[in-house]
A and B are shown apart, each in its own frame.
Chain A
Amino acid sequence: MADNTGRSGGTDAVLATVTSLPELDERSLVIEAQAGNRTAFEELVRRFDRDVLRLAMNLMKRPEDARDVYQEAFLKVYRNLHRFRFECSFYTWLYRIVTNVCLDHLRRRQARPEDQAPEVHMNRQDEGTRDFFEIQREHRPTLDPERRLMGLEIRTKLARAMERLSPRERVVFEMKHYQGLKLRAIGDALGTTEETVKNSLFRATRKLRQELGELR
């Protein structure tokens, strides 16, 4: 990342603000970044990129695709930051861009499945991934063989069921269950209504239940 001199900003005023950038709130950082302060933009990236990459990895399930999503999303943010008018939170605006990029990738993947590398599935023992219950904390009932077997089966079926979801259902399900976002926020991120998101989540849950029903 850039040094602390703010290469793109360059003015003394910008330099003065650089030293206190980590202490600035989200709005001030965005304003600095909009003024051309590269260091402020990088501070914004650092505040949110962990969650962005996590979302991308969970959705794309391939590190290479997740890297592409990360790059594409933040470059879009950088190019279009001057258009951000604080009509929503920066977080929501950022997630709108990230989810759109993810949706594009997922749709391309659905359109041309023959060009895609296999996804990383957590349940595949031959790929060296550990069993779900092995990586849980000690207070979990990991010593129950029956439950371990159930966990393994659930993961297998869940992975298969996730592949049946549409890109939008996949995004909604991920953002709801693994990012912990409220449906309203998901709707904002996706540029749609809460009702639409609810429908997507309902369909996604129904499909998953069908796959996992036998195990319950």
Chain B
Amino acid sequence: MSAGEIKMNCAEVAPLLVFFACDEVGAEERGAIETHLAECAECRALLAEENALHESLCAIPQVADELDRTGMLLARCRSELAESLDEMAMPAEPEKWQPFGWVRRWMALRPGWSAAGLLAAGAILGVQLLQWLPTENSNIKGTAMKVSAAPALSDEQLAKMAVGSINFAPSVDSAPGTVQLQISAEQPVTLSGNLDDNDVRRVLTYVVRNSDRFDAGVRIDCLDALKARAHDGEIRAALLDAIGHDQNPAVRMKALEALREVAGEKDVREALLDRLNIDSNPGVRVEAVNLLVRSLEVESAPQVAMQVDSDMPMLAPVAPSAAPPSSDPSVRRIVRALEDLQHSDPNRYVRLRSAAALRQIGPSEVQ
């Protein structure tokens, strides 16, 4: 032992053996420990234990060896890191200012309160708005008209539809009555409304125009419903079509009845004159005579009460003359047609009614 060497005892050496075993002591300490170990069997035994422990620890396989034998975990870590770096490299989008953002955050944190609040707000808003929203029938006097379940019908649906029933409730005043139609067009549909409703009007006029597809009773019901809107060009055209083409005289009679209020119109008068010549049914011809007389009455003296009794078309009473001026060519046509009918119509009642009509129109015209 040299003079500079440090002398250590067992108490000093023992705690250093841990570091001596793993080569973590300085050169001076190492020398002193080695000197002590050469003389002390007890400390050598301690060092042997320390070395054995160190060996045991080093021999034990590490968790990393088991967890990532194939290197998959490392590859996955690298991939995830690259994705994170890509995200960091992307420029951050400037945060947009969101009005009422604090309300959304508050609601997100309190979903129960938010739901209750929204329901309450919706109920209050709905009650308040109902007072101000105009209802559909607010501009119509009299009976309330309600359109419910009125889907838009396509032409294809119309072509395939079958009418189950028609319920017509006439109005007490000038307003059109309510029509309820049960139809089957791919699936059962109920239309409810008045003649201002486009779908109702389309169905009714379609039935009237397509007499071969629908039952006569249905057609008559449709005409009954259309009667109130005979002034409407579209409906009048459908009514004229019915008196010209419908095979059933009862339906044609109903169509004529529906045209009563517009008998003075030129197109209606022309259609009536045609009926006088070509309609095979005497009742229809008599009704046509009645309407022609009526048209002249309305034209010359609207204030005069109606003389033709619709309940007794065949034997209408003769009324005082109310003929318009003879210079009117349309009147002269009617007179001529009635004169022909009076002489040549095969049906006696038609001839009688024509004669009565001529007397009703007036002597001047007859001459």
Contact = CB atoms under 8 A, between A and B. Distances in A.
Interface string B254-270: 00000000000000000
A129 interface: yes
Given A49-B78, A67-B77, A212 B53 contact: yes
A208 interface: yes
Contact of A53 (B15, B68, B79): B68
17 contacts: A1-B79, A2-B82, A2-B86, A8-B89, A45-B81, A53-B73, A53-B77, A57-B64, A63-B67, A67-B76, A67-B77, A75-B84, A122-B63, A151-B60, A158-B60, A178-B62, A205-B53
A47 interface: no
A209 B53 contact: yes
Interface stretch (B18-26, B106-114, B129-137, B326-334): B18-26
A182 interface: yes
Nearest to A56: B64
Contact of A42 (B24, B59, B65, B82): B82
A11 interface: no
Contacts of B79: 1
B52 interface: yes
A2 B88 CA distance: 13
Interface string A162-178: 00000000000000111
* Max chain B C-beta neighbours (<10 A), residue from A63, A75, A120, A129: A63
Interface of A: 1-2, 7-8, 38, 41-42, 45-46, 49-50, 53-54, 57-58, 61, 63, 66-67, 70-71, 74-75, 78, 120, 122, 129, 132, 135-136, 151, 154-155, 158, 176-178, 182-183, 198, 201-202, 205, 208-209, 212, 215-216
Contacts of B81: 1, 45, 70-71, 74-75
A62 B85 CA distance: 24
B66 interface: yes
A71 B80 contact: yes
B180 to A, nearest CB: 69
B120 interface: no
Q: By DSSP majority rule, is chain A's interface helix, strand, loop, or mixed?
A: helix
Contacts of A132: 59-61
Contact of A208 (B24, B57, B61, B64): B57
B335 to A, nearest CB: 102
Given A54-B62, A122-B63, A205-B18, 5 more contacts: A1-B81, A66-B67, A75-B88, A132-B60, A183-B19
A120 B66 contact: yes
A136 B59 CA distance: 9
B40 interface: no
B74 interface: yes
B56 interface: yes
Contact of A177 (B57, B67, B76): B57
A38 B88 contact: no
Most chain-A CB neighbours within 10 Å: which of B18, B63, B65, B82? B63
A67 B73 contact: yes
A201 B53 CA distance: 14
Given A7-B89, A57-B67, A120-B67, A50 B74 contact: yes
Contacts of B60: 122, 132, 151, 154-155, 158
Give the residue among A49, A57, A136 with the most B Cβ atoms within 10 A. Answer: A57
Instruction: Label chain B's interface by main secondary structure.
Output: helix
Given A78-B88, A182-B24, A201-B18, A1 B66 contact: no
B49 interface: yes
A56 B62 CA distance: 11
B63 A61 contact: yes
B312 interface: no
Contact of A45 (B62, B64, B66, B78): B78
A53 B58 contact: no
Contact of B78 (A1, A151, A198): A1
A54 B89 contact: no
Given A2-B85, A71-B77, A74-B81, A58 B64 contact: yes
A7 B90 CA distance: 11
A216 B326 CA distance: 145
B76 A71 contact: no
A120 B80 CA distance: 23
B122 to A, nearest CB: 42
A183 B24 contact: yes
Interface string B74-102: 10111111101110110000000000000
A158 B52 contact: no
A57 B68 CA distance: 9
B145 to A, nearest CB: 69
Contact of A67 (B56, B58, B80): B80
A46 B78 CA distance: 8
Interface string B299-338: 0000000000000000000000000000000000000000
A176 B73 contact: no
A198 B81 CA distance: 34
